[in-house]
Structure 1
């Protein structure tokens, strides 16, 4: 059997139109080059699977009866991936085949690198800041939280214009060696959403692999249409952050984090309530 050069895995949850656009950006050329394309339908109710079968018959569609989350959903595809390189791609990403091919070639040319991610652009073509970063250590989180509460904006000032070795890279467009997948295992399914890419990259680094961010290859990350209600996002984020600490940090650090999260959420709620306009549109009385 001929080797499969790469497998592309697209996870979708009620993002039918975005998923079709995503597939359109690389489908024809990927099939022509013998790539495997897998879409995991994570319990969608918008006929995503049927639309893919109609418009992209070369795609292997895996269907879940419910939304398993990012890690568990992608793992369905990872278990079926036969490519020497595996590419995780968000359904709201437009990725020309030339970019995906460039990423795979860059990865193969550096045997010590286990994973590589592309630069992320907004729909307007502006670079997105949160394409890579450092591990969420206590000092970093405390500094970031204080800046947010004081209205000083995000602390994230990493240069996204140059290739760099990073502690974690975004899973929006992430290329991983099949060898790495076999060595470090699948995504950790205790992370429903958020920090699964942090955890995966950390495990790669612990196994001796390097992780790279390379904005010489860029994709468009449309964002804003995950299919999850906005009021659930913060809760999921903090729950995943706590799970990351449970797994990788000491008990005192984990307990401290949980206290800080409760304090931060309370202070943020009080701040919003204090500065929210009244029903008449004027600030409430102090």
Structure 2
């Protein structure tokens, strides 16, 4: 019988992420670690993610497995995790982050090389807003599905391009045509490329699991999530952010866009690594001072 059980969604990407965590937990703790597959609300519905309100659609049922004792740990994509703390659980570890950038899957070169009217698939309001701002002549198509399914729509000729997270491609070992988009062209989602290892708050084993934690990544994620919380925005809002930890310093870039990309508010903040939440909150205040809260309130 396994000593530890890790809950995750059943998608290929979720299982790849969880397998990475499971292997390191086994090495760290010297125990056998099993996997529990959970079907989330977002997995069983074809509706646009914005119809769920953007709050924990891929998280709730996986978390329930930890709270009801079926699992000891849940592994989430950090960008799917609501910013409000959940009673009874805590983020035990934030492992080293993968590449934060978005990736343009296409056989037609870069974003500037796509012909006018080319079809670009994405299900993210943030990506839609950036695409419409940078290339209003493109035809943006709403899509959902697993990463490999979305990539296949380009290979099959159904779409000229799709935008996905670079981290997902790396974790799945996929090497589609195309290239990452520079953060100057498209700021990533809050928490993109990072994982959250969640446990029951009263689990005495949490200090041992914290051995998976990367201090720099945790600080980056705290700042980005504090920004999102300060804006009172959900996971699916058109908000881009990337924090970078260097030694004991933290730099944060952030932006809020209108859905059509015609308006954008930007800011940068920085501070000590120990004040990651303050760095994020100050960024939110700067954006609100520019009018970002009104922009978000209109959505």
- Tell me the TM-score normalised to structure 2 length: 0.33
| Higher CA-based Rg | 1
